[in-house]
Structure 1
Amino acid sequence: MKRIYFLLLILSVLATACKKGKVSPEPVVPVIPVIPVNPADPGLPTAAKDGVVFINNGTSAIVTLYAPFKKSVALIGEFNDWKGAAMKNTPDGNIWWLQLDNLNPNTEYAYQFLVDDDLKIADPYCEKILDPIDDIHIDNNTYSGLKAYPVGKTTGIVSVMQANQPVYTWKNSAGFTRPTKNNLVIYELLIRDFTAEHNYASTLQKLDYLVGLGINAIELMPVNEFEGNLSWGYNPSFYFAPDKYYGTKTALQGFIDECHGRGVAVILDMVLNHSFGQSPMVQLYFDKPSGKPFAISPWFNTNSNTHPYNVGYDFNHESAATKTFAKNVMKFWMQQYKIDGFRFDLSKGFTQKLSSDDASFSAYDASRVAIWKDYNNYIKSIDANNFYVILEHFSDATEEKVLADDGMMLWNGLNVNMNEGMMGWLANSDFSWAFFAKHGFGKSENLLNFIESHDEERTMFKNLAFGNASGSYDVKNFAVALKREEMAAAFLFAIPGPKMIWQFEELGYDISINYNGRTGNKPIHWEYFQQTERKALYNAYAKFINLKKKNGIFSSADATYNLSAGVKYIKLIESNNTVVVVGNFDVSSKDANVDFGASGIWYDAVTGTTMTLTGNTYNKTLAPGEYHIYSRTALNAG
């Protein structure tokens, strides 16, 4: 562009001069100045990468920081008594780097970057940080021998580097086969609120409980470093460092490995829509007076209002720097932790379209589709072996169809409609949106249905608080409410496609999501498992999950249903069997009239009994809350 500009300028001058008779009108060959192009930095070692790379058997380290437009960057840390060493800058001005020598490979070194003699930041790519505020609340049982913060030497969050880190020896992951998407039953959990010890080791002790339930995947809410300790994790700050409040790096690797050994996949909740103020990437280009990132930030939008649900500082996923960073994050967790999938938080936010309402935010966005296809293709280039890419998208069906056709899985919440049915309020109880064909998807495996996630009010709480009643039948009654939960679960697991349940949903957890504040700590009630009525709900969930996994008919594309009335049913057909799930969601007795398609003996997987139809139609009066799972031939119950 500069050459064209100079050429036009010269020609313009010549033309003007010709008009004034000052030069000959004969053709003149202009001299075009050559604009030098910065060559590749000959000083940047070929081994360098983002963050730290160790060489010379760990006695040297090449440290880099991507920080365009900065005047100076110094590396400060324990290796130079925090006095700083000026880092070199590549000719293009983008990368600052320095090689450290004479390091002890077995020593943990705390370090920071001093930018423009003013800003101290930690390394965005570091795998461990030290926080002077949060670390004091981490007990030794969770993180033994945690390195002390360098008090009096510096301020703010510091990074930690070590050549010879503790290495986990993997045992089970090589032979682990991921469950097929259609057979996937995910258990979403928040480590903080799952056990009192809130760490990987204590969570692992509950693996027998989870395997007994029948789940074959665990989805961990965000475990990379986030602001504070008592968080859901959706306020991320460091993307390569596991949060120490839950345990060590090797403890997390061990947790994943042990899950694989028990046939359970591990999915990580990944938050790349936004970051928070502790992030060094936010701080590098932050305008304190306005409280916003500068426009020159390689990663973040100045304004975080590209969509109505944004929190923190909004990543610009059309930026090449953001795409590089996001892919580096994905690759790191896939390779270092051998995870089996990502659930991407607020995936619909990967847009640069301005939208102030949900309708415009949800509308088809070609740029967003291209971004997600690019990320999905990148993930498949690293691991094409049934790796799960799950999007919290909730956008226009036409957009979700394109993403589903590309192999991604879309979250589909049934909380409102199913819970209305549980409570006995029928007007808004149709949950037929759970069927993939209504979304235009070609496969059921791309629609991930759930009744509860971390984000919704707990259905058992609403049953007890707002349940309907008729005569002596009252959904607010504890035992009745639990049986209504059971009936809803029977329908959930009969719907073809992958499923997810939220922690303790299977025990009828009845503490409101707003207890102690929406994201605040919640009571942990493992004693629920010893209570007869709650244990019965757990057993029912286990039965339904087992039926789903052991019988291919629950993945059948041949499905009919009526889910709008009080008596609801789902009928699934395959070549040698038919399954009909029928239940009365009303609070009074109702007559069921359902075409089963065949007369004769039908097997009831709920009661273990049989029923004989003289014709094709099932005619029976169902009590409120009564449900059945009938099959033409007996189902495999494992």
Structure 2
Amino acid sequence: MKKYLWIALLTLSGFSLQAQFITLNPSSASAEDSATLIFDASAGNGELAGAEKVYLHHGVVTDSPDGTDWQYIRGNWGQDDGIGEMTRVPGQTDKWQISFTPSIREYFNVPEGVNIFRIAGVFRSADGSIKGTIAPGEYSWGTCAPNLDLYINLNVNNFLLVTAPTTDRTFAFQGQPILMSARASSEVTAMSIAIDSGSGFQTVRSVNSGTTINYAYFPTASTSLRIKFSATINGEQVEVIRTHEVIFVSSPTVEALPADVIPGINYHADDDTRATLVLQAPGKTFAHVVGDFNDWTVADDYLMKKTPDGEYFWLELTDLTPGQPYVFQYWVDGEITIGDPYAELVADPWNDRFIDEATFPGLPDYQREEYGPATVLQTGQQAYQWSDTEDSWVRPDVDHLVIYELWLRDFIATHDWAGLTDTLDYLKKLGVDAIELMPFNEFEGNDSWGYNPNYYFAVDKFYGPKNDLKRFVETAHQKGLAVIMDMVLNHAYGTNPMVRLYWDADAQKPAADNPWFNREYVGPYSWGFDFNHESQYTKDFIDRVNTFWIEEFHIDGYRFDFTKGFTNFAPGGSIDGFDQSRINILKRMADVIWQADPDAYIILEHWGPFNEEQQLENYGMKLWSNRTYDMVQAVIGNPAEGNFNAMDRTGWVSIYNSHDERRVAEHAITEGRSNGSYDIKKPELMFERVKLMAAFGYLQPGMKMIWQFDEVGYDIDINFNGRTGSKPAPWGEGSLGYYEDSLRLYILETYRAILKLRQEIGAANLAAASTNHTLFGQNRRLVYDQATGVDIVLVGNFGLDDSSIDPAFTETGSWYNYFSGEEINVTNPHATLELKAGEWQLFTSEPMSDGFPGVVAVYENPVTITPFPFTQNQEITNRFDARKASPAGTAGLVGADKVYMQAGVALTPGSDLLTHIVGNNVDDGVGQLSRVAGQTDIWEISLVPAEYFGLSEDDEALQLGMYFRDATAENFGYGFRDNIIYYDVESDQPFVTITPAAFTIDDEITITFNARKGNRELVGADKVYMHSSVDLTNSTTPWNSAWNHVVGNWGADDGVGRMRRVPGETDLWEITLTPRHYYGLSDGDVAYWLAAVFRSADGNTKGTGTPGPIEHGFIHTNQDFFLRNQIVVGTQDPLREGERIHLYPNPSRGLLQVTLEGFDQPGELLLYDLTGRPLYRAAVQNRVQSLELSALPAGIYWLRIINGERSWTRQVVKQ
């Protein structure tokens, strides 16, 4: 069974076993031999095939034949420095080799007497971003572990395993033995233990049979031992030598804590040569201080004293040099090495080497990786001199804060406080009130979001020195900007000293007696290790953390990460319900914070039930409110979903974007809907949509947040370089160049203008004004009517077509368009305003600006194509209106004598590069348009794209692109914002089909998906998955009942639901299945509907289309596909040439118009529900008939059209 499982996994995951992945030559090599390792990059996952360089990050395993503990490592991950670089096998493109000479032992510099069982390795690209690996499992050469590390077995037939001691140091009390033991690989004829304590080896134990040996050694003083384990196994002499340090420990002095000291590093104001260290470690036996001041040796002089209650250890250090940094650790019970939990500077032996001198000058030199992170004490530090302006600093009103969230790592290239300080003028000019910084206390690694904290009182060094942070805060205050710290107190990560101090190594989790952390995570959400918020130890620690940053760094408050996790109450394993204990914990925390600073901001990422959040809000705390869905749906052109209700609440921060959400602009650029040439995926239109979002988002009172670079339409996928990985910079050298792009700068100007108006009128005044809003649907409106002061009217069209709205002006008379600067005279406050797709207008009752020319533009398309949509083989008519065209800096084409079209087609997925260009920029008649009769500036041309552009049978046009010129090619007509005008060309093939269309659950069916239809987001995809289910009910609303037999794991590239590319096709995908087996169905089941979503391997991209009918089904407004099994639908006759059946609008909310075009006699209509029950019958008079559907429930219906002896069935969707 296991064998077949792996075969399936390899097939699904794309691993190849066609070639030998690893070859060791000679295959029988032992540690004492030279050997060559050969890697075939084309085998396994094949990700390093074609690489220019391949590295082997490698080491050896010395503990056991099946061990995975890397030792004697060679290589620097991600560095192209030659260490571990392989060479290409001569004559081979994808085979690489590395030799271990003069022997494997000497190559890795492994001492004699140490077993070498395996070579451990990872094949990587030069930058470490790509790994060559294979599916986990056992192979002829060794093992691929579940984490994809590789282990190549060496020839070790006879060996000894040392089972004790397992460390190189033992702390021992008087009379405490040290166990020495070993196990042989097979029966011995002789085995012994010998000890050298300085005068040569003396045998202390020997046996003549068996496989094990042990000895108890009783030390009498501190010493350094050499322990030799020897054996004769199958006639071979085997020997292992260990060096072991014995540290004889005295019992610690029991003495109370001195007055005025607390856990951590205590400096003495009157003596910079002294410091008192205090470690809270209840239940521990002894602790030493080890560091630079004692050359990292254990000595009795540095054995810490113990308080009578066993709660604390403490030690006063003397003779310190003022101003000199000392790296140190606490060594507890002889085996735990930790830094001080309260230290303000951490020394990280793994990551500090990657922090340059410019970022953190004078970083302590600490490279003792075997001890892990240490901390730094430094007496005689000069206190930061805060400016007198701090005394007069008044925070912005918390109820109406506009917060700017940023990640320092990605915000500026230097990723330091000094550089961030230089950007404060930019943020001030933007119009925000506060800066929320993602976590910046010490966290694991360097390049991180910071939600993996380990030390809570230290500023992470990757961002620069602590005084630079203080200077940043001070300067921000001077510019009127508050600073909010993102604080993570739900959990800590494994290098946290309090986690390590009480750690169960066997279970790899906090020990049961850990005072600060729960052993098991409470609830289903887990990161790192869970703080026990009911413990007094945790409460004291957290209160000290929160007070520290306010008092020491003058931060203005906190955004607390995932406060729903601040609980030990999880009935049924859930923490999602109302929890009074959690409320009590948060109130206690708030009380302590407000004792330190009564006006400090407290913002919670809580995601709790509303009645719980309401209590917290009533207490004075604020809460995140994720409105991404509501805003995204409006921006991408799906305004039927979501609404803007309750975005003006003062107790919740309305978030349209954050570090943890996909960027709204990226949603628009990848998911934006289209109608004709109005395509929100086009950057120039996406830019206008995010301005529309900003207007409606930030002109509502209450707390708001902006994620970094929203103000320039940042549209890079959140999963680029990994979700938490660095993203391309929008500014600076080598950047995306956003700030050199005039259209993106218009977004910035829009944000500035909107936030300036918000500030000038006052958000609090908007909150107090009478309102007349429309907060849902295609056309939305904000109306503020102040008793005194400036009134505001904002109207916007979030749809894809032109519409109108009642502006509800608060009074007649003069009103002023804020962005155009124009004055209008309102005589009827309710006179309808016509709005084009995506258009919005902002009016004020008093002049508040002179206008912002060009900043906001209304989309005008000078071209209409009939019919639309169209395929490349249909005849179309392009009609060009010169009055709507952009002249692109010329005189334009209004009044032109002749107009020509320069046009081509785009054939490449994901590219709008035009080929097969027709037009010669001369007056030769090629591409010339005809003037429409009775019109001066409207021109047209009719063509069949495939013929006009000379496409071959193999060419498939994806887009038609064009611009217009006069006869001399001196004047031009372009589309919106001077761009080429593009229209999508519809694929000739169906969107989704099921073959056969009528099936039972035991029939084999094939579902085919055409990625070139609809939104085309999966065009060019490497993999496509079908996430699907079936509906066993004959439902009229399958979107409510079809998703009960789901097959697929969203976002997982695990092969479940993976489609295969149709042979010979690039963007046609298919999957073949038998419903009974695929969906787990039973006898008697009928699959009436198949529900499907087509997605990318990571689930971030969906292939879908405009909601409405498709062949044998429909696309719902949530963009899921629903396909009707035709086993329950009758057959229908073909249409004759010239005959067409039109249903409009479909989907319909009320009136449905049915038109029979080209028929020679009247017809009859029969409307049925999905059970076959007739609902409506009518004759078609004059070939047009209207059906009133408003009284019907939302759902799917069948319309039967009868004309003489022929009939047709059409699907109707009632919304």
**Offset at 1:129?**
1.0
The counterpart of 2:774, out of the listed 562, 567, 573, is 562
> What is the rounded CA distance, in whole Å, between the counterparts of 1:189 and 1:612 in structure 2?
43
- SS of 1:562's equivalent? coil
> What is the rounded CA distance, in whole Å, between the counterparts of 1:558 and 1:70 in structure 2?
65
Structure 2 equivalent of residue 181 of structure 1 = 398
**Offset at 1:392?**
0.6
Is the 1:543–1:637 contact (alpha carbons within 8 Å) kept by the matching residues of 2? no
- SS of 1:517's equivalent? coil
Gaps of 5+ in 1: 1-40, 437-443
Q: Which residue identity does 1:470 align to in structure 2? A: N
Structure 2 equivalent of residue 276 of structure 1 = 493
Structure 2 equivalent of residue 235 of structure 1 = 452
Structure 2 equivalent of residue 342 of structure 1 = 558
- SS of 1:564's equivalent? coil
Structure 2 equivalent of residue 310 of structure 1 = 526
- SS of 1:327's equivalent? helix
Structure 2 equivalent of residue 247 of structure 1 = 464
Structure 1 equivalent of residue 313 of structure 2 = 96
> What is the rounded CA distance, in whole Å, between the counterparts of 1:356 and 1:108 in structure 2?
51
Structure 1 equivalent of residue 739 of structure 2 = 529
**2:706 aligned with 1:501, yes or no?**
yes
**2:559 aligned with 1:362, yes or no?**
no
Structure 2 equivalent of residue 549 of structure 1 = 759
CA deviations 1:361-416 (Å, max 9, x no partner) are 332210111111111111111111x3111111121111111111111111112111
* Alignment CA distance shift 1:120-1:557 (3 Å): farther
- SS of 2:698's equivalent? helix
**Offset at 1:308?**
2.7
**2:256 aligned with 1:43, yes or no?**
yes
**2:671 aligned with 1:455, yes or no?**
no
Is the 1:53–1:61 contact (alpha carbons within 8 Å) kept by the matching residues of 2? yes
Structure 2 equivalent of residue 3 of structure 1 = none
**2:822 aligned with 1:609, yes or no?**
yes
The counterpart of 2:805, out of the listed 565, 570, 592, is 592
Q: Which has the higher contact order (CA 8 A, sep 6+)?
A: 1
> What is the rounded CA distance, in whole Å, between the counterparts of 1:79 and 1:560 in structure 2?
71
**2:590 aligned with 1:376, yes or no?**
yes
**2:513 aligned with 1:296, yes or no?**
yes
Structure 1 equivalent of residue 617 of structure 2 = 404
Is the 1:556–1:572 contact (alpha carbons within 8 Å) kept by the matching residues of 2? no
Q: Which residue identity does 1:410 align to in structure 2? A: L
- SS of 2:773's equivalent? strand
Is the 2:815–2:845 contact (alpha carbons within 8 Å) kept by the matching residues of 1? yes
**Offset at 1:476?**
0.9
Deviates more, 1:123-132 or 1:307-316: 307-316
CA deviations 1:550-572 (Å, max 9, x no partner) are 21333336444222210011222
Q: Which residue identity does 1:413 align to in structure 2? A: N
Structure 2 equivalent of residue 35 of structure 1 = none
> What is the rounded CA distance, in whole Å, between the counterparts of 2:271 and 2:553 in structure 1?
23
Q: Which residue identity does 1:620 align to in structure 2? A: L
**2:418 aligned with 1:201, yes or no?**
yes
The alignment-based identity, stated in percent, is: 39
Deviates more, 1:168-177 or 1:502-511: 168-177
> What is the rounded CA distance, in whole Å, between the counterparts of 2:582 and 2:769 in structure 1?
29
Q: Which has the higher helix share?
A: 1
> What is the rounded CA distance, in whole Å, between the counterparts of 2:660 and 2:551 in structure 1?
29
The counterpart of 1:58, out of the listed 267, 272, 278, is 272
**2:809 aligned with 1:573, yes or no?**
no
Q: Which has the higher strand share?
A: 2
Aligned runs of 1:62-77 on 2, under 5 Å? Answer: 62-77=276-291
> What is the rounded CA distance, in whole Å, between the counterparts of 1:163 and 1:126 in structure 2?
13
Structure 2 equivalent of residue 395 of structure 1 = 608
Q: Which residue identity does 2:816 align to in structure 1? A: Y
**Offset at 1:632?**
3.0
> What is the rounded CA distance, in whole Å, between the counterparts of 2:480 and 2:850 in structure 1?
19
> What is the rounded CA distance, in whole Å, between the counterparts of 2:566 and 2:281 in structure 1?
23
The counterpart of 1:108, out of the listed 325, 334, 338, is 325
The counterpart of 1:131, out of the listed 341, 344, 348, is 348
- Please report the RMSD computed on the Cα atoms of aligned residues, expressed in angstroms: 1.9
Deviates more, 1:478-487 or 1:597-606: 597-606
Is the 2:400–2:703 contact (alpha carbons within 8 Å) kept by the matching residues of 1? yes
**2:365 aligned with 1:148, yes or no?**
yes
Deviates more, 1:595-604 or 1:407-416: 595-604
> What is the rounded CA distance, in whole Å, between the counterparts of 1:612 and 1:399 in structure 2?
49
- SS of 1:54's equivalent? strand
> What is the rounded CA distance, in whole Å, between the counterparts of 1:105 and 1:554 in structure 2?
57
CA deviations 1:183-223 (Å, max 9, x no partner) are 42211110100111111112222222212211221111011
CA deviations 1:420-451 (Å, max 9, x no partner) are 11000123231314232xxxxxxx2x221121
* Alignment CA distance shift 1:584-1:147 (3 Å): same
- SS of 2:475's equivalent? helix
> What is the rounded CA distance, in whole Å, between the counterparts of 1:452 and 1:205 in structure 2?
24
Is the 1:596–1:618 contact (alpha carbons within 8 Å) kept by the matching residues of 2? no
Q: Which residue identity does 1:122 align to in structure 2? A: G
> What is the rounded CA distance, in whole Å, between the counterparts of 1:361 and 1:637 in structure 2?
53
> What is the rounded CA distance, in whole Å, between the counterparts of 1:66 and 1:631 in structure 2?
62
- SS of 1:283's equivalent? helix
- SS of 1:499's equivalent? strand
> What is the rounded CA distance, in whole Å, between the counterparts of 2:647 and 2:476 in structure 1?
29
**Offset at 1:633?**
3.5
Gaps of 5+ in 2: 1-253, 732-736, 852-1215
Q: Which residue identity does 1:259 align to in structure 2? A: A
- SS of 1:49's equivalent? coil
Is the 2:264–2:343 contact (alpha carbons within 8 Å) kept by the matching residues of 1? yes
The counterpart of 1:169, out of the listed 361, 385, 391, is 385
> What is the rounded CA distance, in whole Å, between the counterparts of 1:255 and 1:392 in structure 2?
25
- TM superposition score normalised by structure 2: 0.47
**Offset at 1:544?**
1.0
Aligned runs of 1:322-337 on 2, under 5 Å? Answer: 322-337=538-553
Q: Which residue identity does 1:60 align to in structure 2? A: R
**2:676 aligned with 1:471, yes or no?**
yes
- SS of 2:832's equivalent? strand
Q: Which residue identity does 2:756 align to in structure 1? A: N
The counterpart of 2:836, out of the listed 604, 611, 623, is 623
**2:715 aligned with 1:510, yes or no?**
yes
Q: Which residue identity does 1:320 align to in structure 2? A: Q
Is the 2:793–2:807 contact (alpha carbons within 8 Å) kept by the matching residues of 1? no
Q: Which residue identity does 1:580 align to in structure 2? A: V
**Offset at 1:628?**
1.8
Is the 1:430–1:564 contact (alpha carbons within 8 Å) kept by the matching residues of 2? yes
**Offset at 1:637?**
9.2
Q: Which residue identity does 1:119 align to in structure 2? A: I
**Offset at 1:289?**
1.2
Structure 2 equivalent of residue 13 of structure 1 = none
Deviates more, 1:573-582 or 1:209-218: 573-582
> What is the rounded CA distance, in whole Å, between the counterparts of 1:460 and 1:273 in structure 2?
31
Deviates more, 1:601-610 or 1:370-379: 601-610
Structure 1 equivalent of residue 689 of structure 2 = 484
- SS of 2:748's equivalent? helix
CA deviations 1:303-325 (Å, max 9, x no partner) are 11x23332110111111111100
* Alignment CA distance shift 1:355-1:312 (3 Å): farther
